[in-house]
Amino acid sequence: MKDAKFRRCHGCDLVVKVATVDKKQNAHCPRCNTQLYRGNRISLNSDLAIAIAALLLFIPSHFFPLVTIQLFGVMIPATLPSGTITLMGEGFPMLGLLILFCSSIVPFLVCGSVVIAHIALRLKLFKLFRNSISTIQHLKGWMMLDVFLVSLAIACFKIQDHADIFIGSGLYGLILLQFVTSLLLTHVSPKRYWRVWQRKHQQHIEAPISKPEHSVHCGHCHFTQQKGSHCIRCSRPIHARKPNSIQKTWSYLITAAIFIIPANILSISILLTNGKRLEDTIFSGVAGLIRTDMYGIAIIIFVASIVVPVAKILGLAYLLLCVQFKRSIFHRQRMSIYVAVKWIGKWSVMDLFVISIMMTLIDRGQILDFTPGLGAVAFGLVVVFTMLAAESFDSRLIWDNYERTEKS
């Protein structure tokens, strides 16, 4: 394959010489440790097989009951779609949609996009190929089946005092689906798909770059090339840095910081039992768990709903301030903060999932009723906006003054 003799790291924009790496080895950036090349332990066709297997697993995991709950002598089966539809119908359409999006729609779209990318690769359908690869790249961070499964376990643990719970066949399907989709995510590499596309259909494209300083990296297909307005491989506009990254990240971050106040003050869940109304905020929920000796769950919920969102907002604000005040030390540590913020992001949604699952399981009218409070809506917005903030931040900004300090 013809490739540039050097390429730019998409994490820190360092110009790295391309060495021949063993097919099974990974290559990392020497400066920021971002993975530049992933060894291909399995063939591209295996990706396709895994994606098809995942798509088939959507049937049992979504249409068979996950759990059946026995409440006041009545057996109530709950499937994943029925739960989210209940939420939407009870006046929380955004919450229901968020859960359906992260636990069903995104995994389905990502698996479907892998299949479509293979078809487009065979039939040389450029736009279809480009769109399906973009879908995989943009949506994979929103796949939250794992969070959903942990939340389901916590919800069942919390309501076992009120009712008997029986595991349904859908749950086995969902666990298998989680296993297969995470296998797919660790193997599927958009960069690799683009390399194969280039080898098959765009052999004329070379990257004759005279000097490394004149090169630029395409953020869509990760191709290093001569500076220009559009990518010669994927035809998308090229930007040396994400446009308006700092402003966008600040605005998402400030929005999240505003919503975190009602998320913690307003009640996140309301339980009606025998005419009594018990309202819980995130904090009183954790305190309640400690009172009932559920220390493990209390720690998980405390970390996921209080520590993680606050740490994310502070961490990103620190990174932005360092970029703006051109701080010239601790680049590596700051990069680790960014990677951590991106990685832990999705786990903060857990309490929201737990409440929603509990609501769909024990929403039984007058005797026992469970609904999310307005705090839950605010908390959902905090999660979404911190994730958007992390995504709009360009990690290359962290390293911009590294070169300057090195040169001087």
Q: Tell me which of 54, 117, 221, 362 binds Zn ion, using CB under 5 A.
A: 221
C-beta closer to Zn ion: residue 81 or 228: 228
Residue 14 CB, nearest approach to Zn ion (Å): 5
**Are the CB atoms for 35 and 165 separated by under 8 Å?**
no
Residue 215 CB, nearest approach to Zn ion (Å): 13
Closest to 187 (Cα-Cα) out of 65, 310, 54, 70: 54
Dist CA 263 CA 131 (whole Å): 36
Residue 347 CB, nearest approach to Zn ion (Å): 26
Q: Which of residues 177-206 bind Zn ion (CB under 5 A)?
A: none
Dist CA 35 CA 21 (whole Å): 13
Q: Token match 């961070």: residue? A: 141
Give how many residues touch Zn ion by CB under 5 A.
15
Dist CA 87 CA 78 (whole Å): 13
Considering the rule CB under 5 A, would residue 383 count as an interface residue with Zn ion? no
**Are the CB atoms for 381 and 96 separated by under 8 Å?**
no
Considering the rule CB under 5 A, would residue 36 count as an interface residue with Zn ion? no
**Are the CB atoms for 17 and 5 separated by under 8 Å?**
yes
Q: Tell me which of 4, 7, 8, 32 binds Zn ion, using CB under 5 A.
A: 32
Residue 211 CB, nearest approach to Zn ion (Å): 19
Closest to 356 (Cα-Cα) out of 60, 81, 6, 111: 81
Considering the rule CB under 5 A, would residue 102 count as an interface residue with Zn ion? no
Rounded to 5°, angle at Cα 207 from 206 and 208 = 105
Considering the rule CB under 5 A, would residue 219 count as an interface residue with Zn ion? no
Tokens, residue 36: 């530049």
Q: Tell me which of 4, 11, 120, 158 binds Zn ion, using CB under 5 A.
A: 11
C-beta closer to Zn ion: residue 218 or 359: 218
Considering the rule CB under 5 A, would residue 9 count as an interface residue with Zn ion? yes
Dist CA 111 CA 140 (whole Å): 10
Q: Tell me which of 130, 140, 220, 331 binds Zn ion, using CB under 5 A.
A: 220
Tokens, residue 355: 């409440």
C-beta closer to Zn ion: residue 30 or 91: 30
Residue 16 CB, nearest approach to Zn ion (Å): 7
Q: Which of residues 231-290 bind Zn ion (CB under 5 A)?
A: 231, 233-234
Tokens, residue 328: 């010239």
**By three-state DSSP, how is residue 22 classified?**
coil
C-beta closer to Zn ion: residue 9 or 171: 9
Dist CA 281 CA 298 (whole Å): 13
C-beta closer to Zn ion: residue 32 or 67: 32
Query: DSSP character for 229?
Result: S
Q: Tell me which of 7, 8, 12, 376 binds Zn ion, using CB under 5 A.
A: 12
Residue 139 CB, nearest approach to Zn ion (Å): 18
Q: Tell me which of 110, 111, 159, 218 binds Zn ion, using CB under 5 A.
A: 218
Residue 84 CB, nearest approach to Zn ion (Å): 36
Considering the rule CB under 5 A, would residue 29 count as an interface residue with Zn ion? yes
How does 207-232 read in b/e, with b if 16+ C-beta sit within 10 Å? bebeebeebbbbbbbbbbbeeeeebb
Dist CA 203 CA 201 (whole Å): 6
Tokens, residue 312: 């994310």
C-beta closer to Zn ion: residue 219 or 285: 219
Beta strand 67-71 with 164-167 is antiparallel
C-beta closer to Zn ion: residue 102 or 218: 218
Residue 218 CB, nearest approach to Zn ion (Å): 3
C-beta closer to Zn ion: residue 34 or 134: 34
Residue 390 CB, nearest approach to Zn ion (Å): 18
C-beta closer to Zn ion: residue 106 or 221: 221
**Span from 20-28, 174-182, 215-223, 246-254 in contact with Zn ion (CB under 5 A):** 215-223
Considering the rule CB under 5 A, would residue 14 count as an interface residue with Zn ion? yes
Residue 330 CB, nearest approach to Zn ion (Å): 16
Dist CA 51 CA 183 (whole Å): 9
**Are the CB atoms for 332 and 32 separated by under 8 Å?**
yes
Tokens, residue 364: 């039984």
Residue 230 CB, nearest approach to Zn ion (Å): 8
**By three-state DSSP, how is residue 310 classified?**
helix
- Footprint of Zn ion (CB under 5 A): 9, 11-12, 14, 29, 31-32, 34, 218, 220-221, 223, 231, 233-234
